[in-house]
Amino acid sequence: MPKLWNETIEAHRAAVRDAILDAAWALVVERGLMSVTMAGIAERAAIGRATVYKYFTDVESVLAAWHERQVAAHLQQLAEIANRPGAAGSRLEAVLAAYARILRGRGEHGPDLGALLHRDGQPEHAQRHLADLVRALLEEGVGSGEFRADVPAGELARYCLHALSAAAGMASEAAVVRLAGVVMSGVAAGG
Amino acid sequence: MPKLWNETIEAHRAAVRDAILDAAWALVVERGLMSVTMAGIAERAAIGRATVYKYFTDVESVLAAWHERQVAAHLQQLAEIANRPGAAGSRLEAVLAAYARILRGRGEHGPDLGALLHRDGQPEHAQRHLADLVRALLEEGVGSGEFRADVPAGELARYCLHALSAAAGMASEAAVVRLAGVVMSGVAAGG
DNA sequence: CTCCTATAGCGACATACTGTCTCGCAAAAA
DNA sequence: TTTTTGCGAGACAGTATGTCGCTATAGGAG
């Protein structure tokens, strides 16, 4: 899609943007984070190098956008699960298990970009929404006595998401399920 | 220490190596990961740029070495705590609390390099030793019935270390202590 | 004490990446 | 159709990279 403008211009921009993000991630996977260059991204996406600068200022911005897109997609899945009927405990367990599965999904290949990208101080927007999603579930469960009340829900949410990052690169699906159970034990009441 | 060779040659090499590592981390903190260059490191360490290549092949190697040195230092502290007398549960709690405090220590400034550096497939050596330290404590506690036996100790160790990474950037010292307690609840028996 | 070898440090060079500017051309508006 | 908008690509200067060769010193042999 370098030259052809088949659709409306806005859709075209979105398509090119996505192609840039995909190309960048492909390079991260196969050559490592530090060797990703704007020139490489452009070549991989089959567009002019200068064109990439029309969309992003530097490599870090590209990777940040990729990460944002990724987390936003996960967020959509997880929000759907979180809104299903049932007690807060079972919903949180479902959300954590689903998130762990996602993280394991592309386990070995590709580092966690979230670690480097909050250079701007705060975590990414989608990442924060994800934390808010978990925190809301926790607060609901604290109200109903399912979860411990001696630790602020915000801290518990941080704990859950960080602990689940251990799912990346785990050997088996069963291990991921076990991990989610362990994390749940950490937030359960009466610990 | 660019030109002067005050001590033995081996000690000098170690000193220059450390200076390179310190310079690299200083640049990470103040300019971000992606903008760290070999040229910048050399200038910061007050040595010739080509000299840096005598010690490390590229920026990623420098950062990996910095991370290795850092984790090894932590490992020494934590091993000392782990070897103190007492039950496995209290020793593990002390180790987790100490590690959480360390991670919080340089909380905001500087991303977690461990996330990006295991490009070589496996985690860093010191990182693995750290996991082994925690795993040994867990296995001991499982034997005495203090910790849950339904999850392999290796997985529990991964869980502990990842969960504690939430300590980086936490607001208060009290929050770090709470976090360690939550993590302990996850590994306790009868969850 | 002197010389010899190995090696640390640095300047220089060719190559690659960066960031920007300008121009050509396709699409949307008039 | 004519005008306007703005995307895409070539080109250029500045910077980083990786390597080669030279100088000088440390540590050991005679």
Q: What is the pLDDT of residues A24-62, one digit of tens each?
A: 999 998 888 888 999 999 999 999 899 999 999 999 999
> CB distance B111–A112 less than 8 Å?
no
Determine whether domain A9-56 maps to CATH 1.10.10.60.
Answer: yes
Rounded CA Rg of chain B = 19
The first and second tokens of residue B95, run together, are 């180790």
Whether the Cβ atoms of residue A154 and residue B178 lie closer than 8 Å to each other = no
Whether the Cβ atoms of residue B183 and residue B163 lie closer than 8 Å to each other = yes
Break chain A into its structural domains and give their ranges: 9-56, 64-187
User: What is the spatial distance between Cα B177 and Cα B109, in angstroms, rounded to a whole number?
Assistant: 21
Which residue of A27, A159, A173, A183 to mutate against B (max B Cβ within 10 Å)? A159
Chain A closest-CA separation from residue B117 CA (Å) = 8
- The total number of residues shown for chain A amounts to 191
> CA of A40 vs C1' of D9, distance in Å?
16
The first and second tokens of residue A118, run together, are 């909050």
- Residue A120 has a pLDDT of 60
CATH of A64-187, one of 3.90.1150.10, 3.40.50.2000, 1.10.357.10, 1.10.3720.10: 1.10.357.10
* Residue partners of A29: CB distance under 8 A and separation at least 6: A109, A110
Measured between beta carbons, which residues in chain A are less than 8 angstroms from residue B121? 108
What dotted CATH number matches B67-187? Answer: 1.10.357.10
Q: Which nucleotide comes closest to A8 if you measure CA to C1'?
A: C27
Per-residue pLDDT at A2 exceeds 80: no
Q: Measure the CA angle with vertex B52, ends B49 and B55; round to 5°.
A: 165
> CB distance B163–A151 less than 8 Å?
no
> CB distance B163–A166 less than 8 Å?
yes
| Region A156-177 average pLDDT | 94
Question: Do A9-56 and A64-187 fold alike per CATH?
Answer: no
Q: Which residues pair with A188 in a beta bridge?
A: A147
Whether the Cβ atoms of residue A115 and residue B111 lie closer than 8 Å to each other = yes
* Interface residues 12-51 of B with strand D (CB < 7 Å): 37-40, 49-50
- At residue B11, what is the residue type? A
User: What is the spatial distance between Cα A62 and Cα A21, in angstroms, rounded to a whole number?
Assistant: 6
Per-residue pLDDT at A18 exceeds 90: yes
The first and second tokens of residue A122, run together, are 């705060």
Whether the Cβ atoms of residue A49 and residue A32 lie closer than 8 Å to each other = no
> CA of A2 vs C1' of D1, distance in Å?
28
E strands present in B4-80: none
pLDDT tens digits in sequence order for chain B, 191 residues long: 444 555 677 788 899 999 999 999 999 988 888 999 999 999 999 999 999 999 999 999 999 999 999 999 999 999 999 999 999 999 999 999 999 999 998 766 677 787 777 666 667 788 899 999 999 999 999 999 999 999 999 999 999 999 999 998 898 999 999 999 999 999 999 75
Q: What is the pLDDT of residues A69-82, one digit of tens each?
A: 999 999 999 999 99
- Does strand D come within 7 Å of the CB of A49? yes
- At residue A22, what is the residue type? D
CA A14 centroid distance within chain: 20
Per-residue pLDDT at A116 exceeds 90: no
The first and second tokens of residue B68, run together, are 């290795």
Q: Which nucleotide comes closest to A45 if you measure CA to C1'?
A: D8
The first and second tokens of residue A70, run together, are 């990724």
User: A150 or A12, which is more confident?
Assistant: A150
Q: What confidence category does residue A144 fall into, taking pLDDT thresholds of 50, 70 and 90?
A: very high
What dotted CATH number matches B1-56? Answer: 1.10.10.60
Short-list A102, A99, A118, CA closest to A161? A99
The first and second tokens of residue B189, run together, are 């028996």
Q: Which nucleotide comes closest to A1 if you measure CA to C1'?
A: D8
